[in-house]
Amino acid sequence: MTAQLIDGKAFAATVREKVATHVARLKEEHGITPGLAVVLVGEDPASQVYVRSKGKLTVEVGMNSYEHKLDADTAEADLLALIDKLNNDPAVHGILVQLPLPGHLNEDLVINAIDPAKDVDGFHISNVGLLGTGQKSMVPCTPLGCLMMLREHHGSLSGLNAVVVGRSNIVGKPMANLLLRDSCTVTIAHSRTKDIEALCRQADILVAAVGRPQMVTGDWVKPGATVIDVGINRIEKPEGGTRLVGDVDFDSAAAVAGAITPVPGGVGPMTIACLLANTLTACSRANDLPEPEGLTA
Ligand code: GUN
C-alpha cells in the first residue's frame, strides 16, 4: 500500500472532543444543554444498533439524549403527533427519525414534518433547497463528515476534479453540492454512466457511495487521488463468517491512491460525530449564539 490512510476513527474522536468542549461552555456560560431526540419505529436490528450507539455518544459529549421507541405498527398520525411535540419542546434542539421506516409510513411526509431548524439529518426539503442554493442549512451528516476529512487532508479543495459515484439523496447529491460549494469541478456518476472507470480516473477526489461491495477497483483510481469510501457492506468470507467492506476494493485502490479512508474506521465514525456537531449547531442557532467553528460546512 502506498496511500496515506485517512483515519476517520481518530478524526471523529477529535470532532467529538471539540463538541464536548463547546457543550461544556454552553452549560457553564448560558445554562443550556443541547438535546437530541432520536425516534426509532420498529425493531430493525441494524437500526437498533445505530440508535444505541448514537444515544451513548450523545451522553458522552454532555448532551441530553431522548430516545423514543415506537411499535412497528405505529399509525402515521401518532408518529406525526410525536414529531409535533418534539418540534415544540424547547429542550430538544435536534430530531432524528431513524430510517428506513416500516412500509406503511410515508418517509417524505414524516421527514418534512420535522422543524427544519431541528432537522439534524439535513433531509427536510427546506434544508435540501438551502444547501442546493448555497445558503445556511442543516447539512446531512455523512457528506459533512467526508467534507471535513477532505478539508483536513487537502486544505483548499478549489479547482480539484471530484467524482461522486452514487446519486442518493442522503449522500451522493448533498456531497456533490458541498464539493461544488468548495469550488471543485463535480461530476455525479451512477449505474447508467458510460465508461465510468475512465471518468473516475479523472478524479482528484473520488467519493464512492453506491452500496455495492468493492465495486471501485485500483484501475478506476488516478494515481495520487484521494478516495473516500462511504460504503458499509457485509460480505461472506471464503473461509466462513462475514466481514465489513466498503464500495472500494481497498487493497487495489490503496496501491494507486494518494490517500484513502478504510472500512470500517473511515466515514462511519465521522457520521455520528457530525450528528453531534449538527445538534450543537442547531442549539447554538436556536439560542442566537455563535456557531461552533470548524464543525459546520
Ligand atoms: N439510517 C441509516 N443512516 C441514517 C441516517 O444518516 N439518518 C437517519 N435518520 N437514518 C439513517
CA of 251 to the centre of ligand 1 (A): 28
Residues tagged active-site = 54, 98, 121
CA nearest neighbour of 203 among 155, 271, 258: 258
Mean pLDDT score, 112-124: 98
User: β-strand 161-165 against 64-70: which pairing, if any?
Assistant: unpaired
CA of 52 to the centre of ligand 1 (A): 13
Specify the pLDDT at position 139: 98
Specify the pLDDT at position 79: 98
Q: Give, using CA atoms, the residue closest to atom 4 of ligand 1.
A: 99
Q: Which three cell numbers stand for residue 31?
A: 445554562
User: β-strand 35-41 against 205-208: which pairing, if any?
Assistant: unpaired
The 10s digit of each residue's pLDDT in 238-249 is 999 999 999 999
Q: At 186, is the secondary structure helix, strand, or coil?
A: strand
- What mean pLDDT value characterizes the chain? 97
Q: Give, using CA atoms, the residue closest to atom 11 of ligand 1.
A: 99
Q: Give, using CA atoms, the residue closest to atom 1 of ligand 1.
A: 99
Specify the pLDDT at position 198: 98
Specify the pLDDT at position 162: 99
Q: From the centroid of its chain, how far is CA 271?
A: 4
Mean pLDDT score, 74-90: 98
Atom of ligand 1 nearest to the CA of 271: 6
Mutate-to-test residue for ligand 1 from 36, 57, 96, highest number of ligand atoms within 8 A of CB: 96
121 lines ligand 1 (CB under 6 A): yes
Specify the pLDDT at position 23: 98
Specify the pLDDT at position 39: 98
Mean pLDDT score, 139-168: 98
The 10s digit of each residue's pLDDT in 233-277 is 999 999 999 999 999 999 999 999 999 999 999 999 999 999 999
Specify the pLDDT at position 209: 98
The 10s digit of each residue's pLDDT in 172-212 is 999 999 999 999 999 999 999 999 999 999 999 999 999 99
Give the C-alpha separation, 88 to 227, whole Å.
Answer: 42
CA of 209 to the centre of ligand 1 (A): 14
Q: For residue 1, is pLDDT > 90?
A: no
Specify the pLDDT at position 194: 98
141 lines ligand 1 (CB under 6 A): yes
Q: For residue 60, is pLDDT > 90?
A: yes
Specify the pLDDT at position 239: 95
Mean pLDDT score, 6-13: 98
Q: For residue 133, is pLDDT > 90?
A: yes
Specify the pLDDT at position 277: 98
Specify the pLDDT at position 257: 98
Specify the pLDDT at position 176: 98
CA of 121 to the centre of ligand 1 (A): 7
Non-local (6+) Cβ contacts of 241 within 8 A are none
99 lines ligand 1 (CB under 6 A): yes
Specify the pLDDT at position 73: 98
Mean pLDDT score, 121-132: 98
Specify the pLDDT at position 62: 98
Atom of ligand 1 nearest to the CA of 97: 9
Mean pLDDT score, 74-88: 98
